[in-house]
Structure 1
Amino acid sequence: MAIYFDDFEVGQTFVGGGRTFTEAEIITFAHSYDPQAMHIDRVYAEDGSFKGLIASGFHTLSIAWWLFLKLGLVEGSMKIGIGVDEVRWKRPVRPGDTVALTVEIIEKSLTSANDSGRVHFSHTLKNQANEVVLTYNSLHLIWLKGYGKSES
């Protein structure tokens, strides 16, 4: 169910389902995209500053993005993503942690083309203890009702 620019309101909040990180997934992601010892070497990680294996921040960000898309808010209504800002890794994510996403609309404005508008989302990812592990903002062009692929 797509939500169009017209339907988004500043202050609206949406909560996404959870996702659990496995040790195998953390290691596999890190080997491919962020091969630092704290993400791939259990022995090194135990003696490191985090006292155990942790997920790559980019892995955590990827899961947060996946959870955002699974909400279905912009499926069929997003014209294009413009950018991601203010990414902050607040706490490490460890094997067995389950994270959930909260998204808030923090700003919206029409574009000069009058077929879409800019919607600014604030994303907060929390672990099972309700501790914030990641925050970031994203900016997207969202179709107005009557425009876009799914409306034509």
Structure 2
Amino acid sequence: MGLSYEDFEVNRTYEIGEHTFTRDEIVAFAQQFDPQPFHVDEAAAAASPFGALIASGWHTCSVMMGLLVRHSTAGSTSMGSPGIDDIRWLKPVRVGDTIRMTSTVLDKRVSSSKPDRGIVTTQWEGVNQHGETVITVRAKVIYGLRHPGAPG
């Protein structure tokens, strides 16, 4: 079995993975889900405040979620999320940018109404190849306990 509630340590940062954004995937995602001109049209993007094509923030979130599931929650006792508390798109993600994702555990607690599971609060960060933080996401995930009733 993969990660369970007990495996998460408050204040610990976990390396999740990285992804390089290509022009074609930026445009394809945006055409389907966020067709703003600076995501789908290079001429319009060049004339925008960004000066070039950029990825949709939702694309960046989706990539981060994919990394998280493939490299962290796959095989775990994850029961999903009750929601995201905060998303900040701090810098544009550009064609060719490689974003490295980490997840830091901010808090964890066993559910008072369902003591077989706990809620883990994390902050995800995406940092580009220049060391700039481009996105932060604060989220909660529910994980099953390996040993309900034990300290953890």
Q: Which residue pairs with 1:36 in the alignment?
A: 36
Q: Which residue pairs with 1:24 in the alignment?
A: 24
Runs of 4+ residues over 4 Å off in structure 1: none
1:132 counterpart = 2:133: yes
Q: TM-score, with normalisation over the residues of structure 1?
A: 0.91
> Counterparts of 1:4 and 1:43 in 2: how far apart (Å)?
48
| Cα RMSD (Å) | 1.4
- Shift in Å, 1:15: 0.8
- Shift in Å, 1:36: 0.3
| Structure 1, 72-81 or 33-42: larger mean CA deviation | 72-81
Q: Which residue pairs with 1:114 in the alignment?
A: 115
Equivalent residue of 2:19, what SS?
strand
Alignment CA distance shift 1:69-1:4 (3 Å): same
| Structure 1, 9-18 or 22-31: larger mean CA deviation | 9-18
Unaligned runs of 5+ in 2: none
> Counterparts of 1:74 and 1:135 in 2: how far apart (Å)?
22
Q: Which letter does structure 2 place at the counterpart of 1:110?
A: V
Q: Which residue pairs with 1:150 in the alignment?
A: none
Unaligned runs of 5+ in 1: 148-152
1:81 counterpart = 2:90: no
> Counterparts of 2:64 and 2:145 in 1: how far apart (Å)?
25
> Counterparts of 2:75 and 2:105 in 1: how far apart (Å)?
16
- Aligned-residue sequence identity (percent) comes to 35
